[in-house]
Structure 1
Amino acid sequence: MNNIRKIAIFTVMILGTLRAGGLGKGPRTHLAQLSAKEVVLGGKDGWEEFASSKNVTTGTGRFGYPAVELAPNAFEADEDTDLLIDFENAVNPISNGNYHINKNLLKRSDQTKLEKFAGLARGNGGLSVSGRPGTFFGSEGLTGSFTLEFWLCPSVAENGEIVFKWESSKTVSNQLIYQLLNASFNKGHLEWSISNLFDDDINPFTSHDIILKGRTTLVPDSWSLHALTYNSENGCLEYIVNGVTEDLLYHTSTGQEGGEVSLIQLGTPSEVHFCPEYTGKIDDIRIEKRPYKVQGFQSAENAGKVGHTLYVPQGGSFISKPIMVSTGSKLNSLTAEMYAPPQTAVLFYVRSGENYYNWTDTYPEWKPVESGKDIQGVTGLYFQVCAELYPDGSGENSPSITQITLDYYELPEPVPPFVVNAVAGNGTVTVSWNYSVDDTAGGYYVYYGTRPGEYLGRMAVEGDSPINVGNTTSFTLTGLENGRIYYFAIAAWSAYDDRVVGKLSREVFARPLARLK
């Protein structure tokens, strides 16, 4: 694992009673050595890919190291997303949608409202894309509901600056009709100009030219969320800023809600221009094939209004991949290097087990722990960590985690016996050995087989190799074939956990014979 370091720190001496008496003489009191180690997640080596995560990203934490923090409340593509441009990819700002780039003169800026990057326009042409067949702006003919939405942060908001522009033409009664969808600044407000966008045969009562005016004064160097949306169910064409309706009209036969609704009729597919004559930043441009859907959450200062906070109040979380240590390891503590502004919170959970392949979201059970506090009852071959991050009440501040350190005790593998002998008999072999000099040895395994170094025996009456013979120094295997040579080795298992087995002793051999007693 690239980002997980295992470092031996020191040796702890623990008084225990595994067997009494002197070496090789039954029960006695002794000292057992447990090795204290640590696993580091994050830190200067960065964070590995998580087993799962939600609403989190990486930023800069303590000492300039990568830190896990809440992801800004950005758009996420779904089945209705026609186009999503979020500027996170340095090569291609389009993260979703069947569109291709014709021209991109936008730069990336890290001064953003959402995620890590925004697009920076300097009034020199912006970004132009074309939709492939099946996309909203890549198709010709009647279409239904749509929403065009984006974050905007103008530098000057000068009159005439164009943020969005689409031009095309359609044929009506054998005449070529010009179409326009344009958003530009007028006296500090964004204004939408719409020409010949709808099916005129169905709705002859509404003007072919539509103006939707914004009421919110757009302040330079301040972010705001803009949406132009049309609902084909009720004919409502609406301009929304920061979740609040600025202007609307009903494109129906009555000019009001009710009556016959006309559909949008697009002409020849053509380029879509973002920021062609605009200076400032733009982010998370999205086209949806559905009416407007509130993407934000209510903030404390805007209670009762529809707002958009930087971080969702539900927060975010991540779960590490299972971390392999050694069988029977005991987790002592979790210590996090983190930053938690007032009202924010970070919660930690751990779990463990010997085999993670049968783990589910709830099994083994997650145990809540606190950073720097002792942990009890978490042992196993694998550890796993979960962290939950929560923003403050305003949704404007996020906690961050730079590093997580897991301190644990690792059960050492007991040393094998130094002296091993094998004596053959009639269809039998008696193997004997001295007690291990290692105080952690609680018992022994006898390994046997018919080839040197391969202990795959299955013929002894006492069982298949290896045989757990308990805390003894002699064992006889019966039912062996006379005249055949057998090879043996001994390994000690830990008195703390018999699943922890040490290395094999030196190999010995013997050949049972019928003439032997």
Structure 2
Amino acid sequence: MVKTYHSFLRIVTFLVLTFIVPEVYGEEKVMTLGGKDGWPVLSRRDGVVMGKGRFGYDAVKLDTNSRKTSFMSDLLLDFEGEVPEDACGNYSVILNEVTPTSRCKMGKKGGLIRENNGLRLRGNPGSIFGSENATGSFEIEFWLYPFIAENGEIVFSWRSSRTVSGYSLYQIIRASFYGNRLQWVFTNVFDGFVDNSGEVSISSYRTIIPNTWAHHAISYNQDTGLLEYRINGELEALKYMTTTGKETGGSVYMFQTGVTADIDICPQFSGVIDDFHISRQAVSETLPDFNFDTYRKEGGRFETQPILISQCAKLTRLDAIIDTPEQTDVVFFVRSGDNFFSWTENYPEWIPVTNHEEILNTEGLYFQIAADLYSDGGGKNTPSVTQIDLHYVETPAPLPPFNIKAVPSNGSVTLTWSYSIDNNAGGYYVYYGERPGEYLGREAVEGASPVDAGNITGITLTGLKNGKIYYFAVAAYSKRDSRIMGDLSKEVYARPLNR
């Protein structure tokens, strides 16, 4: 009776260990993205850039609303490089007294100017200021941060001449400070306009505040003759360059450049300039598409590359070092799977997760992390992500089997072994080859090394050559995933013979 009870107890214990005990994961590990080691290449960066975060490390932040080139762009200076250059390739820098500075409105750098010289550009043929012709509509725009805004400081200057009816007419376009306002003067550039000796003046309504960023835009519309000046998108002043001086009832004075001449940007100015842009369209046409907020209010997103964790794992927690100024936010997402080559933009499904909280039901060979970044309602501040720590546990590799034996026969070898004592073992790979420790065999009818023997404790490899010595080892693989393999067993050998 006691013997029967003990047998029953052994059977119950076996069933519990085999079918009831949950699969055991190994100790928790951590993988770090960002921080002192920097960020890996991201698979997606939509509206985000790298900037400075905590401890001076690189951090992911929202991109600013920097001007981008378009087919209508004639000139763009973003001042992001050590030396200013035209992103459109239409102008060459021939004089540069501008110093890069981290004080900027858009991007990472602005152009610092101290009192004299600034920047001189020479236009290539076909550019607005590199050709002698009627240019059509145009817009000159830039961000400006004046230190003083003193009378006589010049922000933009162009001097040329053109010949009309045998007479030479001097041409001037100049933007300078007068009475704490920025005043634009156009002389002999509107063909046929002779009032006031051909000079047109237009200035801001509001006063210019030193040590404050403001966006300035002066534009001319060849269809209506409208010359208008805006600051931060708000209309400051306008004039109709028509024979009636009104929107209707007259013909338009066309904008006409003369002899090719250089343009000077901030030749007499103290302050910072950013995103200087000249376009072949009027401000009224570009305004609906331009946002004066520093950061994109629609937010931005980044996604990591799929991350291989070496063997099947379970993601348990995400700890991110972030900065979220008031009204800003960062939302994290994760997804996982075994074969990322089949992944699409939305498959597998992205699962939202909370920073520092437990993650459930996310496991596989590959993981991918994403984050949505949102600015405040005024577009003045951006959140940042300096570092992400991924906490995970791997499926442990099973222990190798013991008591490996190899018995040779005619053209075959029979291998037997004991079951692995590891409850995670789901089957066995049999390795074989012709040299110790090199299991590159391909002769066996059962397949090339390694042969998947399944969850059994023996196999006969046939089709081997008599007289040749073979070396063997066995490894257990996980019942969760056959790609998770443990260490090899001790090596045994055998020589098939026809006896």
Greater displacement, 353-362 / 223-232: 353-362
Q: Select the residue among 137, 147, 151 that pairs with 1:155.
A: 147
* 1:82 and 2:66 are equivalent in the alignment: no
Give the aligned partner of residue 291 of structure 1.
282
Name the amino acid aligned to 2:139. Answer: T
Separation (CA, whole Å) in 2 of partners of 1:509 and 1:352: 42
Give the aligned partner of residue 312 of structure 1.
296
Give the aligned partner of residue 495 of structure 1.
479
Separation (CA, whole Å) in 1 of partners of 2:134 and 2:23: 84
Greater displacement, 117-126 / 85-94: 85-94
Q: Select the residue among 476, 480, 490 that pairs with 2:460.
A: 476
Give the aligned partner of residue 249 of structure 1.
239
Q: How many angstroms does 1:173 deviate by?
A: 3.5
Judged with a 3 Å threshold, the aligned counterparts in structure 2 of structure 1 residues 348 and 236 are, in CA distance, closer, same or farther, namely: same
Q: How many angstroms does 1:296 deviate by?
A: 7.8
Q: Say which SS state the counterpart of residue 92 (structure 1) adopts.
A: coil
In structure 1, stretches of 5+ residues that fail to align are 1-18, 299-305
Q: How many angstroms does 1:408 deviate by?
A: 0.5
Q: How many angstroms does 1:47 deviate by?
A: 2.8
In structure 2, stretches of 5+ residues that fail to align are 1-11
* 1:230 and 2:220 are equivalent in the alignment: yes
Greater displacement, 65-74 / 179-188: 65-74
1:177–1:196 contact (8 Å) kept in structure 2: yes
Separation (CA, whole Å) in 2 of partners of 1:333 and 1:394: 33
Separation (CA, whole Å) in 2 of partners of 1:31 and 1:77: 57
Q: Say which SS state the counterpart of residue 142 (structure 1) adopts.
A: coil
Q: Select the residue among 249, 259, 269 that pairs with 2:260.
A: 269
Give the aligned partner of residue 11 of structure 1.
none
Q: How many angstroms does 1:205 deviate by?
A: 8.8
Q: How many angstroms does 1:482 deviate by?
A: 4.1
Q: Say which SS state the counterpart of residue 142 (structure 2) adopts.
A: strand
Q: Say which SS state the counterpart of residue 115 (structure 1) adopts.
A: coil
**Pairing 1:397-436 to 2, within 5 Å after superposition:** 397-436=381-420
* 1:511 and 2:488 are equivalent in the alignment: no
Q: How many angstroms does 1:470 deviate by?
A: 2.1
Separation (CA, whole Å) in 2 of partners of 1:293 and 1:337: 43
Judged with a 3 Å threshold, the aligned counterparts in structure 2 of structure 1 residues 452 and 241 are, in CA distance, closer, same or farther, namely: same
Give the aligned partner of residue 123 of structure 2.
131
1:295–1:308 contact (8 Å) kept in structure 2: no
Q: Say which SS state the counterpart of residue 134 (structure 2) adopts.
A: strand
Q: Select the residue among 55, 68, 83 that pairs with 2:47.
A: 55
* 1:388 and 2:380 are equivalent in the alignment: no
Separation (CA, whole Å) in 1 of partners of 2:394 and 2:287: 48
Judged with a 3 Å threshold, the aligned counterparts in structure 2 of structure 1 residues 162 and 31 are, in CA distance, closer, same or farther, namely: closer
Q: Say which SS state the counterpart of residue 416 (structure 2) adopts.
A: strand
Separation (CA, whole Å) in 1 of partners of 2:269 and 2:63: 28
1:166–1:181 contact (8 Å) kept in structure 2: yes
Q: How many angstroms does 1:307 deviate by?
A: 7.1
Give the aligned partner of residue 95 of structure 2.
103
Summarize deviations over 1:212-233 as a string: whole Å, max 9, x none: 1211211111111101112233
Give the aligned partner of residue 7 of structure 1.
none
Name the amino acid aligned to 2:365. Answer: L
Separation (CA, whole Å) in 2 of partners of 1:165 and 1:108: 21
1:206–1:251 contact (8 Å) kept in structure 2: no
Give the TM-score normalised by structure 1: 0.85
Q: How many angstroms does 1:21 deviate by?
A: 4.5
2:24–2:396 contact (8 Å) kept in structure 1: no
Which is helix-richer, 1 or 2?
2
Q: How many angstroms does 1:450 deviate by?
A: 5.0
Summarize deviations over 1:301-336 as a string: whole Å, max 9, x none: xxxxx9722222101221122222122111111111
Give the aligned partner of residue 347 of structure 1.
331
Summarize deviations over 1:333-377 as a string: whole Å, max 9, x none: 111122222322110011223333443322222111110111122
1:127–1:273 contact (8 Å) kept in structure 2: yes
Give the aligned partner of residue 16 of structure 1.
none
Q: How many angstroms does 1:168 deviate by?
A: 1.7
Q: Say which SS state the counterpart of residue 44 (structure 1) adopts.
A: helix
1:89–1:95 contact (8 Å) kept in structure 2: no
1:319–1:385 contact (8 Å) kept in structure 2: yes
2:78–2:84 contact (8 Å) kept in structure 1: no
2:81–2:100 contact (8 Å) kept in structure 1: no
Give the aligned partner of residue 220 of structure 1.
210
Q: How many angstroms does 1:477 deviate by?
A: 2.0
Q: How many angstroms does 1:379 deviate by?
A: 1.7
* 1:66 and 2:58 are equivalent in the alignment: yes
Give the aligned partner of residue 15 of structure 1.
none
Give the aligned partner of residue 343 of structure 2.
359
Give the aligned partner of residue 9 of structure 2.
none
Q: Select the residue among 34, 41, 45 that pairs with 1:42.
A: 34
When the two structures are aligned, how many residues end up with a matched partner? 486
Counting aligned pairs with the same residue, the percent is 47
Summarize deviations over 1:419-470 as a string: whole Å, max 9, x none: 4332222232211223335453332111234565554545434344322222
Name the amino acid aligned to 2:265. Answer: F
Give the aligned partner of residue 197 of structure 1.
189
CA RMSD of aligned residues (A): 3.1
Separation (CA, whole Å) in 2 of partners of 1:131 and 1:430: 84
Q: How many angstroms does 1:28 deviate by?
A: 9.9
Give the aligned partner of residue 3 of structure 1.
none
Summarize deviations over 1:172-213 as a string: whole Å, max 9, x none: 33443322111011111111111222344xx78997321112
Name the amino acid aligned to 1:239. Answer: Y
Judged with a 3 Å threshold, the aligned counterparts in structure 2 of structure 1 residues 252 and 455 are, in CA distance, closer, same or farther, namely: farther
